[in-house]
Amino acid sequence: MSSTIVSLTGCVEAELKQVGMLFEQELRSELACVNTLVRYVSRFRGKMLRPMLVLLSGKACGNIVPEHIVLSTVVEMVHMSTLVHDDVLDDAELRRKGATINHLRGNEAAVLLGDYLISHSYHLCSSIGSQYASRTIARTTNEVCEGELLQIENRNNLDLSEKVYMQIITRKTASLCGACCLLGAKQAGASDELAQAMEHYGRRLGEAFQIQDDILDLLGDVREVGKTLGTDIEKGKMTLPMIHFMQNAPRQHRELLRSMLQQHEPDKGEKIRNLILPSPSIDFARNHARELVAQALDALRMLPPSDARAALTHAAQFVVDRPM
């Protein structure tokens, strides 16, 4: 795991440090209570995948300029705001092996902190004077919200189709990854054709990431993953393995899963895991994620060979090789 992360960040390590410093600088407040929450939520930054995508896309398409640092910080703020709000929606108690903001300080503080992060992202983005960048960030946050609303609309829809599931994850996860690569490329002076290819890479990568995340929520080890698991089942979210199982398993097994999902037993997650694990549905979801990664890698063919292109290739592989 650590060697994979090093291979991703090595060629943009110095720039990622600048992003971390700007993140802290921009969010600094005159109020101690705000600074305390910001310091705590900074623990959630983890791999900083989205800033990494901005920087690597910029470097692969040309050169990194100061605006890349700003945009990398902006997308990390947007992402962090979605994590804080998601934890409220999911009643999650654990993230990065520590208590979530909502568990620690309550839903009100978590919602307001998420709003604080998103408002600062727009404030910071406006500093580079690029209407294209500002409108791209705004359009993307709209898509993220649309994805979340579509997911809420389909809670407890046990007949959710794969098509609608893909619409949900494309909006709520993949749109931001695509925007990261698009903005990184455009800021480096890439042609429209190359910038669109990079956006395609980011979107396919984001879709694969979310499918793998959904598999982890069902099968993952909380000690390895470091966040609350089983929230999809508890919140009535149908994910790709469950959708495939509901459409392809023997009738009695489908009826059993439907019955389990409608129950309110504390151990239903473990029962559902044991029901789905022996089926082909987990492999179906994994293979779909791998197909999306292959499409992402195909988009990189337009790039000349470089350390940044190699890192983007490793990033795609990292998505489907995360620990269970």
Q: How confident is the model at residue 228 (pLDDT cuts 50, 70, 90)?
A: very low
State how far the alpha carbon of 4 is from the alpha carbons of 8, 54, 88, 279, 308, in Å: 6, 18, 31, 30, 14
pLDDT of 96 > 60? The answer is no
- For the chain, domains (ranges, CATH) are 2-320 (1.10.600.10)
C-alpha dihedral, 98 to 100 to 106 to 108, nearest 10°: 150
Other Cβ atoms less than 10 A from the Cβ of 35: the count is 14
d(CA 30, CA 33): 9
Tokens of 98: 């520590």
**Most confident region among 68-72, 233-237, 264-268 by mean pLDDT:** 68-72
Residue recorded with tokens 């929520």: 217
**Quick one: average pLDDT of 142-153?**
94
pLDDT at site 7: 58
**Span 251-269, pLDDT tens digits:** 999 999 999 998 887 778 8
Tokens of 302: 């337009």
Residue 46 identity: G
Average pLDDT, the chain: 88
Do the Cβ atoms of 215 and 241 come closer than 8 Å? yes
Tokens of 295: 């499409």
**Span 288-299, pLDDT tens digits:** 999 999 999 999
pLDDT of 109 > 90? The answer is no
Helices (H), the chain: 2-9, 13-27, 32-41, 49-61, 66-90, 101-105, 107-125, 131-153, 162-169, 175-187, 192-219, 222-225, 231-234, 240-248, 251-261, 268-276, 281-299, 307-320
Nearest residue to 168 (alpha-carbon basis) of 180, 182, 183, 155: 155
